[in-house]
Structure 1
């Protein structure tokens, strides 16, 4: 068994002895998609507890240290923490009641342990999957183009960081969405972060990320790479395309 999964099983075995715990849910590569697990994975999980016990487990780490000492931790949100074990395992977890859990957006959870009287449906979120206003080629194409337009204006203004986020971030996210729509749903897609595992899914000749994401001083070159990629696959609205070309040439 992979050390991360073994650590989660150890935690679950300890938590199962407590009266105020309801379930432990593995997430991410410790969840339903364990094929993603490798030596660079961290350990993500939810702890489901009784009403009134959330702060006890979110604020204290005594229970977390049962299998191994914790050498570093901090509260990264009201319900949870990030922590590093002495043996190098990095964990990120959150603590919820059953009612709170249903108001959290998550996907791909796996029951590691649940109390016999735990309610059904713990691995299903009531929060819809995050979606853009329109998940269409037209939307993602025009979003990418307007991201380039706004980003290049910020680059010309000297706002290189903001420009990079528009050109090398937002526009590239739209490129990834266009690939998803044209080539089918990729394996192990992270609905909350489109950048996850794209290198495994799309080879460089399909998604030339090195050209699209060259870095802080590479915004103009990145915009050119994204525009060329879009132009080779989709009709570009002439008025906006001409304006972007003008800025690329200025």
Structure 2
């Protein structure tokens, strides 16, 4: 058994002795696709508790330390924490009540343990991921193009960091979305909350030239040129926005 799955089992055994816990759910790579776990994974989970118990489990880590001492932790929000066990296992977890689960976007959860009287569908109560309003080729294509346009203006203004984000991050997110919609071989394990996950395994460099699309902070023009060329090769690009992008690329400033 993978050490992280064993840690979850040990944690479940402890939580089962507490009368105010209803379930322990593995999420992320500890969820239904736990065969993805490797030495670089972190451990994500939800603890489902009775309403009155939530503040205790959010504020205290005594229960978390039952299987192994915690060396480092901090609160990430009003629901949970990140923590590092002394043996090197890194965890991110949240505490929810049964009524809160339907409001939380999650997918592919796995019941590690649940109390006999807990609802049987806890792992399936998550809200769907919130994607763009228009999940269409037209939207993602034009969003990518305008990301390049805005990013190049910011580059010319000297705002290189935000330019890098628009050109080498936001635009690439839209490219990945386009591939998901149009590829003959869609990503088999696409993360609905973070589409960039495992994208290298889904699309080889000949399909998605990430090294040229994201060459780094000092190479925004090169990145924008590559992405514009890729978009024009695969889709029908409006010449107005394409020419506007090229004008910015040719600006000597």
Q: TM-score range by the shorter chain?
A: over 0.9
Separation in 2 of the partners of 1:55 and 1:249? 57
Task: Map Cα deviations across residues 146-200 of structure 1 (whole Å, 9 max, x no partner).
Answer: 1101110011001101111111111000000111111153122111111111011
Task: Map Cα deviations across residues 88-112 of structure 1 (whole Å, 9 max, x no partner).
Answer: 0000000011011221111110000
Separation in 2 of the partners of 1:33 and 1:130? 21
Aligned twin of 1:82: 82
> Given the alignment of the two structures, is residue 199 of structure 1 paired with residue 170 of structure 2, yes or no?
no
Matched-pair contact (CA < 8 Å) for 2:107–2:128: no
What count of residue pairs does the alignment treat as equivalent?
A: 250
Secondary structure of 2:186 counterpart? coil
Secondary structure of 2:95 counterpart? strand
In the TM superposition, residue 224 of structure 1 has moved relative to its aligned partner by 0.5
Secondary structure of 2:72 counterpart? strand
In the TM superposition, residue 128 of structure 1 has moved relative to its aligned partner by 2.7
Distance 1:126-1:92 versus aligned 2 partners, 3 A rule: closer
In the alignment, structure 2 segments of 5+ residues that lack a partner are none
Secondary structure of 1:77 counterpart? coil
In the alignment, structure 1 segments of 5+ residues that lack a partner are none
Separation in 2 of the partners of 1:32 and 1:185? 20
Secondary structure of 2:6 counterpart? helix
Which piece of structure 1 moves more, 123-132 or 210-219? Answer: 123-132
Aligned twin of 2:187: 186
Task: Report the RMSD for the aligned CA atoms in angstroms.
Answer: 0.9
Which piece of structure 1 moves more, 171-180 or 30-39? Answer: 30-39
TM-score computed with the length of structure 1 as normaliser: 0.98
Secondary structure of 2:122 counterpart? coil
Aligned twin of 1:146: 146
Task: Map Cα deviations across residues 29-56 of structure 1 (whole Å, 9 max, x no partner).
Answer: 1101112111100100000000111110
Aligned twin of 1:14: 14
Matched-pair contact (CA < 8 Å) for 1:36–1:188: no
Secondary structure of 1:190 counterpart? coil
